[in-house]
Amino acid sequence: MVNRHRGETALMVAGESLPMRLTLGALAELEEAFAVESLPELGERFISGRLSARDIIRIIAAGLRGAGQAIHDDDVAGLSFDGGLGGVIASAIALLEATFGDGEPARPPQPPEA
């Protein structure tokens, strides 16, 4: 069972709920993977909405490891996610919102007003 107060979310794989959490170590791992220097830069990268399949794999894998799973990125790439591609993307977004969000759903960036 996930604890939302700790920033945990769940990933559904073959009918099983796997907890995910982006610990400080997991965030440091993602900073390195995405070649950014700070947490605000990492958050900005995620808010951009331009995530590749490899990015989603890294986020999910880091979240699973942050919650205690011993799993490699390549293992995550081969999982059968409940809900298919949409399910795993929704899980990654939920994890990012639990970590970086303020409790409100993420909104896409708006163009500046003229």
The pTM assigned to this predicted structure is 0.82
Rounded distance, CA 99 to CA 102, Å? Answer: 9
pLDDT per position as a tens digit, 58-77: 999 999 999 999 999 999 99
> What total number of domains does the chain contain?
1
For residue 88, is it within any domain? yes
For residue 48, is it within any domain? yes
Structural domain range at position 72: 4-100
For residue 38, is it within any domain? yes
For residue 111, is it within any domain? no
Q: Is 14 left (phi over 0), alpha (psi -120 to 50) or beta?
A: left
For residue 112, is it within any domain? no
User: For residue 44, what pLDDT band results from cuts at 50, 70 and 90?
Assistant: confident
The answer to whether residues 31 and 37 touch, using CB atoms and an 8 Å cutoff, is yes
The answer to whether residues 44 and 93 touch, using CB atoms and an 8 Å cutoff, is no
Region 37-53: what's the mean pLDDT?
Answer: 86
DSSP 73-113: HHHHHT--BTTHHHHHHHHHHHHHHHHH--SSPP-PPPPPP
For residue 113, is it within any domain? no
pLDDT per position as a tens digit, 81-106: 998 889 999 999 999 888 887 654 44
For residue 41, is it within any domain? yes
